[in-house]
Amino acid sequence: MGAVYLATDLQTGRQVALKLLSLQREFSPEDLAEVRQRFLRESRAASSLHHPDILEVLESGEAGSDAWIVMELVQGQDLSAYTRSGQLLPVSQVLKITARVARALAYAHRQGVVHRDIKPANVLVDPVHDSVKLSDFGIARIADGSRTRTGLVLGTPSFMSPEQLAGLRVDGRSDLYSLGVLLFQLLTGQLPHQAESMARLMNAIANEPAADVRRLRPQLPESLAMVVALALEKRPELRYANGDQFADDLDAVARQWVEAMPELDLDLAAQQPPGAQTLHAPAQNVDAFAQTQALDARDPRHNP
């Protein structure tokens, strides 16, 4: 939703990211006033978040029929490119990134702010500076309960929790479900639920258990499969209560992985193409997230 531009703050000379949201074009006239009020409320809430792993919102406002948000400018790229088989990150990096996002969410939830649209495109990583940034807080909430001109409620259905898809009230545990979907995809290159239509996808998310990640990557430890399964529980009360718990379990699995699977790490390193690097040791002018492993799995379908 919206386009992002490189801009310069004329008062400070600082380079920033400017996101423009064309509310009048996106939403029906009868919803526009409510959407504008919601935008101002949500952007204020987002600007109150100050966490090293959350993209900082510096300022927001309206200009004619458009709304705008000024954000800190960060280097790197989002995780979208690393969610397909053959382009996956090392498991240790996936666990570290996911744990950092979980702790960022724990902080936001303590401030009473729910993200509502956790997905690869909203997690920015910079291997040079070991940076992880969660972006777009409140953007999905702007459209909550309103219809776009095309008749669709904004959001990313494949990553939505059962309660969010059902239009029920959501809290931080919905974000943790979405983070569980992201973790599943980063580990396997596939989504936990796939369907040919929106109706079938919604039914699958609401009623069908997600596959065990070990069916797609048998070498993953049982402890990690249990973490993913807990995050993807259908009922919110059965999931992690908060992001700190989620992150603690991911950290524990990461320690076990390094201690118990050094030979597997070596095998993965041997499969890297020339120039491939990990998050902690990027080489100059080399993509630190280059292909690390090819899985014998069919390509995932695109998110509906």
Above 70 in pLDDT, residue 297? no
CATH 1.20.120.330 fits 3-72, yes or no: no
Q: Where in the chain is the domain with CATH 3.30.200.20?
A: 3-72
Above 60 in pLDDT, residue 304? no
Please give the class, per CATH, of domain 77-271.
Answer: mainly alpha
Q: Which pLDDT tens digit goes with each residue over 198-210?
A: 899 999 999 999 9
The pLDDT of residue 299 is 41
Above 90 in pLDDT, residue 251? yes
Q: Which pLDDT tens digit goes with each residue over 229-250?
A: 999 999 999 999 999 999 999 9
Q: Where in the chain is the domain with CATH 1.10.510.10?
A: 77-271
Q: Which residues are catalytic?
A: 117
Q: What is the average per-residue pLDDT within 92-109? A: 97
Above 50 in pLDDT, residue 287? no
Q: Which pLDDT tens digit goes with each residue over 126-145?
A: 988 899 999 988 665 554 54
The pLDDT of residue 41 is 78
Q: In this structure, are strands 131-134 and 57-63 parallel, antiparallel, or unpaired?
A: unpaired
293, 84 contact by CB (below 8 A): no
Q: Which pLDDT tens digit goes with each residue over 252-277?
A: 999 988 777 654 543 343 333 333 33
